[in-house]
């Protein structure tokens, strides 16, 4: 149930509406834990029922602003420190590599080269985010930089791997 904790985490920085949260997800969490609009509104309802958040203000157009409760904060901290992350990383990119013997060597090399390109583009995108994050000093940006660095390092390793793998196919 990570969506729940993603919402709690964002609300730990201050109250927000479902609409606000959706934008926050798209800006900061889209590469780590994306969420859709329908998911969000449903989850906010459940969180309110569970007493982990409550409606702190109502605005125009039916806007409901939610704030995290003490219980919600406690649950967020418990999740961070006591719940083991799940390590399953399904990758259909890597799954295709397993079966590369079923296509020609040219096609296999093209596949790997294409993956390297994709990750290079992703890295450029992340560099853009890095610039955007410069000069921002809130909690989320501070630790956002840390997750960004993760993306940068792993992305570079991925590009190097794909180039190496391409060279392995004769």
Partner DNA sequence: TATGGCATGTAAACGGTTACATGATTAG
Partner DNA sequence: CTAATCATGTAACCGTTTACATGCCATA
Binding-site ranges for its own copies (CB under 8 A): 2, 5-6, 9, 12, 28-29, 32-34, 73, 76-77, 79-81, 85-103, 107, 110-111, 115, 118, 122, 139-140, 142-144, 146-147, 149-150, 153-154, 156-158, 160-161, 164-165, 168
44: contact with DNA by CB under 7 A: yes
Q: 125 contacts which partner out of DNA, its own copies, none, CB within 5 to 8 A by kind?
A: none
Closest C-alpha among 120, 161, 148 to residue 28 = 148
Size of the site for DNA (CB under 7 A): 25
- Taking the complex as a whole, the smallest distance from the CB of residue 82 to its own copies amounts, in Å, to 10
> Counting contacts by CB under 7 A, is residue 19 touching DNA?
yes
Is 3 a binding residue for DNA by CB under 7 A? The answer is yes
Question: What part of residues 86-105 is at the interface with DNA (CB under 7 A)?
Answer: 88, 90
């Amino acid at each position: 149930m990570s969506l729940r904790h993603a919402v709690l985490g964002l609300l730990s920085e201050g109250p927000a509406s479902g609409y606000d949260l959706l934008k926050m997800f798209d800006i900061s969490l889209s590469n780590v834990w994306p969420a859709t609009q329908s998911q969000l509104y449903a989850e906010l309802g459940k969180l309110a029922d569970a007493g982990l958040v409550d409606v702190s203000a109502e605005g125009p157009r039916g806007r409901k602003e939610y704030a995290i409760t003490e219980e919600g904060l406690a649950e967020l901290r418990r999740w961070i420190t006591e719940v083991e992350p799940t390590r399953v990383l399904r990758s259909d990119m890597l799954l295709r590599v397993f079966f590369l013997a079923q296509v020609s060597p040219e096609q296999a090399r093209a596949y790997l080269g294409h993956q390297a390109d994709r990750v290079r583009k992703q890295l450029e995108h992340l560099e853009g985010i890095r610039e955007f994050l410069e000069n921002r000093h809130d909690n989320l940006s501070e630790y956002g930089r840390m997750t960004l660095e993760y993306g940068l390092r792993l992305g570079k390793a991925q590009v190097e791997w794909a180039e190496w793998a391409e060279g392995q196919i004769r």
